[in-house]
Amino acid sequence: MDNYISLYIHIPFCKSKCLYCDFTSFDNMNQKMRPYVLALCEEIKQYGEFLYDKKVDTVFIGGGTPTVLPLVLMEKILKTLQESFKFSSSLEFTIESNPGTLNKDMLHLLKENKINRLSIGLQATQNKLLKSIGRIHNLEDFDNNYHLARKIGFKNINVDLIFSLPKQTLKDWASSLEYLVKIEPEHISCYSLIIEEDTPFGKLKSEGRLSEASEDSDRDMYHYARNFLQENKYKHYEISNFSKASFESRHNLNCWEYKPYLAMGLGGHSFFNGERYHNCYDLEKYIDSKGKIEDIKEDIEKIPLAMQYSEYMFLGLRLIEGISIKEFESRFKISFDKLFGDKVKKLVEMQLLIKDGNNIRLSTKGLDLSNIVFAEFLL
Ligand code: SF4
């Protein structure tokens, strides 16, 4: 697969900021959309030349909310991608969107330009909860967008949900999951809310004014989702991700399997040729650079081998099927046992890992305490 690559394209605009969000995204910046897209397309073209001998296996357009762009700008990005890269015949091409930002014209444009996977951020089905976290939409918006996308022919849809929201009950969470199981998206992501410092929720937390979910309630919601979705034929394939058979997110699988990816756009993170770097986070600087890669690359870091071993473990163990010792050894040409034998033995004794011949994976207890496991593999 050395000849294949994954691309991430970042669109840093949203209609308004959600109260928990610390992603690189801005609201009320419509006047910057055009210059941003022009710079982005220049960056895409340069990467296209640089990767002339590679085939693109997955593309993920994320944000922000990519579908807030006007049609003409969206079309420019999609055409530039197609003109700049060779796509593999099994291309997975995803775009993130929010309910209320999809309409007939946008969906047709996406479909006609090779996008074959939609990821929609629903987060919860209770309008009161959606409002309390600053979302721009209600359940009806989602429902309309989802069914319109189906009608227009999208056959691979992911829906994101968040649990442990302030004031969310287990009953709320169960009813969000029930609703999704009824409409049957191919993929469901369930993320636990993380309160980041530089967000309105972070501020409320520091003032002691946020009603945060307890750890026990967080775990109850997670276990509920695991059991309920598995009972309803969704495979739990990664800590936070569930899919119908053969609908795992290939883009994310590539990242968890420690394969290279290149990111274009503001703040995009790349991992290529054993190096990691990210694009600048300053919107003005990005636009002024006119997409010149060398002017926007920051924090270029050659990843030392010891770090590569550790990262391979953290990422691979996120997958429910875990990692193969043979694959680790064939990739790094080093004895797995010498590096990690003692750690694995200890974690198996603690019932956090399961070792099954050539395979190592998190136990059910390990899924809840994955950070402790990952920390053990830091060299
Ligand atoms: S829509 Fe997504 S990126 Fe935009 S503010 Fe909300 S969480 Fe952040």
pLDDT, residue 379, reads 83
379 closest CA partner among 287, 296, 314, 327: 314
Q: How confident is the model at residue 352 (pLDDT cuts 50, 70, 90)?
A: very high
Q: Using an 8 Å Cβ cutoff, are 189 and 237 in contact?
A: no
Q: Is the CB of 366 under 6 A from ligand 1?
A: no
Q: Using an 8 Å Cβ cutoff, are 310 and 378 in contact?
A: yes
Element at 8 (helix H, strand E): strand 4-11
pLDDT, residue 265, reads 98
142 closest CA partner among 177, 110, 101: 101
Q: pTM for this structure?
A: 0.96
Ligand 1: centre distance to CA 49 (Å):
32
With a cut of 90, say whether residue 129 has pLDDT above it: yes
Q: Is the CB of 23 under 6 A from ligand 1?
A: yes
Mean pLDDT (the chain, rounded): 97
% of the chain at pLDDT higher than 70: 99
Q: How confident is the model at residue 278 (pLDDT cuts 50, 70, 90)?
A: very high
Best probe residue, ligand 1, of 15, 25, 119, 141 (max atoms within 8 Å of C-beta)? 25
Give tens-digit pLDDT for 178-202: 999 999 999 999 999 999 999 999 9
Which DSSP letter does residue 274 get? T
Find residue 61's DSSP bridge partners: 9, 95
Q: How confident is the model at residue 164 (pLDDT cuts 50, 70, 90)?
A: very high
* Amino acid at position 173, single letter: W
With a cut of 70, say whether residue 1 has pLDDT above it: no
Q: Is the CB of 69 under 6 A from ligand 1?
A: no
Best probe residue, ligand 1, of 11, 22, 24, 65 (max atoms within 8 Å of C-beta)? 65
Ligand 1: centre distance to CA 135 (Å):
8
Q: Is the CB of 25 under 6 A from ligand 1?
A: yes
Give tens-digit pLDDT for 38-90: 999 999 999 999 999 999 999 999 999 999 999 999 999 999 999 999 999 99
Q: Is the CB of 258 under 6 A from ligand 1?
A: no
DSSP letters spanning 72-119: HHHHHHHHHHHHH-EEEEEEEEEEEE-TTS--HHHHHHHHHTT--EEE
Give tens-digit pLDDT for 218-266: 999 999 999 999 999 999 999 999 999 999 999 999 999 999 999 999 9
Q: What are phi and psi of 98, to 5 degrees?
A: -120, 145
With a cut of 80, say whether residue 319 has pLDDT above it: yes
Q: Is the CB of 98 under 6 A from ligand 1?
A: yes
Round to whole Å and give the CA distance between 357 and 140: 49
Q: Which long-range contacts (C-beta less than 8 Å, at least 24 apart) are formed by 226-233?
A: 228/174, 228/177, 228/178, 228/181, 229/177, 229/181, 229/188, 229/190, 232/181
Nearest CA to ligand 1 atom 7: 21
Atom number of ligand 1 nearest to Cα 96: 2
Ligand 1: centre distance to CA 117 (Å):
19
Element at 329 (helix H, strand E): helix 325-332
Q: Is the CB of 64 under 6 A from ligand 1?
A: yes
Ordered domains of the chain (ranges, CATH): 4-256 (3.20.20.70), 321-376 (no CATH)
> Tokens for 42?
């220049």
Q: Is the CB of 18 under 6 A from ligand 1?
A: yes
pLDDT, residue 218, reads 97
